[in-house]
Structures are given as C-alpha cells and as structure tokens.
Amino acid sequence: MDVRPRSRACSTRRTTEASKPSPAQKVKYRSSARPSPIVRTRPVRNASRITLAPSAQPLGSPSARPADRNRGEPAADPLDQVGKLGGGVRAADRQRARGGVGERFAVRNSGASAVVEGVGDHGCEYMTGGRIVILGPTGRNFAAGMSGGIAYVLDLDPGDVNTDMVRLQRPRHDDLSWLRGIVAEHHKATGSAVAASLLGDWPRRSAAFTKVMPTDYQRVLEAVRVARAEGRDPDQAIMESTRG
C-alpha cells in the first residue's frame, strides 16, 4: 500500500475543484446579481448623454410635444421643460421640440436642423454644421467652440454668448424668409403657442432674432461665393481661406 504523502499541487487542485459552484448555483448567482431593469434608447450621434424627464419624448422623433402629466394632453405652458437632452440631434435630421431643452443641446452638431424653445448652459458647444433655431432663452456660455453652422436665437442676451469664435449679426432677408418657413413647420408639427404668437406678429417679432455666426465659417462661405461668381474652383478657394 502506497502511503506516501500526496503532493501539494494535487491537494490544491482538489480544493479548487471542490470550491467551484455547481451549474444550479451559477444560475442563482446570475439571477441575484442581475441589475434592475433600465430603459434603453437608440444611440444618438453627436450626443454626450441623454436623460429624459418623465413626460418627455426623445428628439429622435420628428417632434417632441411634452404631455400634461395630469391629463395626458399637450402642456398648456409653452415653455414646459422637455428634458435634459444633451446633444440630441443627428446629422441630416430636422428636429423640433415644443418646450425648452437642457444643457449642451446640439453639442458637436455637424449638420442637423432643430427648433426648440429654450436651451440650458453651453448650447451649440463645439458645433460644426447645421442650423439651430431657439425661440426662447439660452443659458450661459452659448456657442463656446462653435466653428461651423448657424444659430438663430430670439431675444438673445449677448452676455450669455461666448464670442471667442462667433459674431452676433442681424439676420438678412433670406435668413428671415427661411426662419419664417421653419417656424411655421414647427407650429404645424407641435402646436407650439410660442410659434403661433411669433407668426401672428412676424414683421415686428422677427426683428428680435440674432444670428450667431462663426467667424471662420463665414470666411469660408464668402470665399466659396466669390469663387463661384468668378468661375474658380470652390475647393481651392476654401483651402486659401483657411490658410489666410
């Protein structure tokens, strides 16, 4: 009979195998460690994070109409908070929200159009393209790092704007023509009282719009316009304007 002591490696291996959970125990562990259910939404390009208010719809839908929490109807308050929709717009989209949105709206927007009725701090931050229409107040540090695209803001407070890379201008006739059409679409899609009031007194109220234009972007647009008028290559004109 072999009475030699077992090797330490053999003893360790048996101890390890004995400590492994059975298949039934594995199922029990997985069930107890499962996190609580969460609501999942489609990923939104150009958005850092989205946190929806209980009565809000994502701006990924064609229009967001905040519902009255008591009756399930559109809110009577025209500036009801839609939710903290940071970013919330995608390239080539046209978004609308009857109500205000949270901070960092349209962050890094690269081509979408949107109409909202107020934004929080850092709106249009690092924006590179598209058009954003804001029919209400903005938070602080608006347009910080904005290098492209255009924002139109009703009753803008210049003190809320970061003017390191943008200039504040009066909209031209073609800007106002485009704005009237986009506001009319917003009213039709959302039933916005803000848009209805604006359209009802357009000649006077439209004068309160401010055009927020990035300086580099305007230089590129002007270079392209001149190049086309002179029959030159617009791409070459863009390269020359960026070097200048």
Residue 150: which CATH number? 2.160.20.60
pLDDT digits (tens, 9 = 90+) for 9-49: 555 555 555 556 666 555 454 544 444 333 333 333 333 33
Q: Residue 162 belongs to what domain range?
A: 50-213
| CA atoms lying within 13 Å on the CB side of residue 134 | 27
How many residues in total does the chain contain?
Answer: 244
State pLDDT tens for residues 195-215: 999 999 999 999 999 999 999
Whether residue 140 lies inside any domain: the answer is yes
Within a domain: 34: no
CB atoms within 10 A of CB 173: 7
- Which pLDDT score, from 0 to 100, does residue 223 have? 86
Task: Tell which wins on pLDDT, 50 or 10.
Answer: 10
In a domain, 45, yes or no: no
pLDDT higher than 90, residue 69: no
141 belongs to a structural domain:
yes
- How far is Cα of residue 128 from the mean position of the Cα atoms in its chain? 12
3-state secondary structure 18-46: HHCCCHHHHHHHHHHHCCCCCCCCCCCCC
- pLDDT at residue 61 above 60? no
Does residue 12 lie within any of the structural domains?
Answer: no
pLDDT digits (tens, 9 = 90+) for 155-190: 999 999 999 999 999 999 999 999 999 999 999 999
Does the residue 23 lie in any domain?
no
Please, which residues have CB within 8 angstroms of residue 8's CB and are 6 or more apart in sequence? Answer: none
Asked whether residue 118 is assigned to any structural domain, the reply reads: yes
Instruction: Please indicate, yes or no, if residue 93 is contained in any of the structural domains.
Output: yes
What crossing angle do the helices spanning 234-243 and 215-229 adopt, rounded to 10°?
A: 140
Q: How confident is the model at residue 234 (pLDDT cuts 50, 70, 90)?
A: confident
CB 120 within 8 A of CB 104: yes
Question: Which of 212, 206, 216, 202 shows the shortest CA–CA distance to 244?
Answer: 216
DSSP state of 228: H
Our count of domains for the chain comes to 1
How distant, in Å, are the alpha carbons of 16, 166, 223 from that of 172? 78, 17, 18
